[in-house]
Amino acid sequence: MSDDYHHAVHALLTGERDRYYADFHTPTEQLVKAINDTFVYDGSYSPFRGRQHGAPVGDLTGDRFVVSVQTHDQVGNRAQGERLAALVEPAQLRLGAALLLLAPHVPLLFMGEEYGEERPFPFFLRLRRSTSAGRGPPRSERRIRADERNSGSTGRKYLSVGHPELDLARELLKKRPAPPLCRPAGRPTSVAGAPRLSSSKGAADFDRRSASGALPDSR
């Protein structure tokens, strides 16, 4: 799985540069590299880590790797459990969906991401409360459970009720090439044979400042 893909898209759409996003200070060019080479850091120096990081994928094609724009780790580890829909404009969210579902990799959809779920996912609330940085020893399990009951976080619904709009995800998935095992004989793969993007082309296509007009509303 390529976390680099997630980090490049997230840095591009949100503008965040804290923590490991500090490694993604030129997200447009780095996203183009992630699309082309799967990993941004494939042996290059990582400022966040202070050392060389990663290795190239060699002859492996993109369909051997999973990429994501949201996961339970990335969302759940945020202080408020915010999903991407709470951090960006609707058009930017649609752009993120396109970058995920049209990538030459295997896309991973986080639950609710397919329709733009906005409810937070504070999955690691208990861990955060018990290990707050520099605030003394962890509290007892009994105290943590009492805090969760009082805050209403236990049993909180992570997904909206009903059948939200799914047209954009469906249309994007239809445009993906068939997996190798499901492809009719003679049909070429666009994963192994797809043209590489150039950084200049990527800059024109993925510039965050123009992302608000990148994709039409699916409704």
Structure tokens at 54: 């990663």
Within the chain, what is the greatest distance between any pair of CA atoms? Answer: 64
Q: Report pLDDT for 130.
A: 53
Q: Which residue has the higher pLDDT, 211 or 198?
A: 198
In the chain, the domains with their CATH numbers are 3-121+158-210 (3.20.20.80)
CA dist 78 and 166 (Å) reads: 26
Note if the pTM is more than 0.85: no
Q: Report pLDDT for 55.
A: 95
pLDDT band at 86 (very low <50, low <70, confident <90, very high): very high
Alpha carbons within 13 angstroms on the beta-carbon side of residue 5 total: 28
Q: Quick one: which of 75, 31, 23, 61 has its CA closest to 201?
A: 31
CA dist 105 and 21 (Å) reads: 21
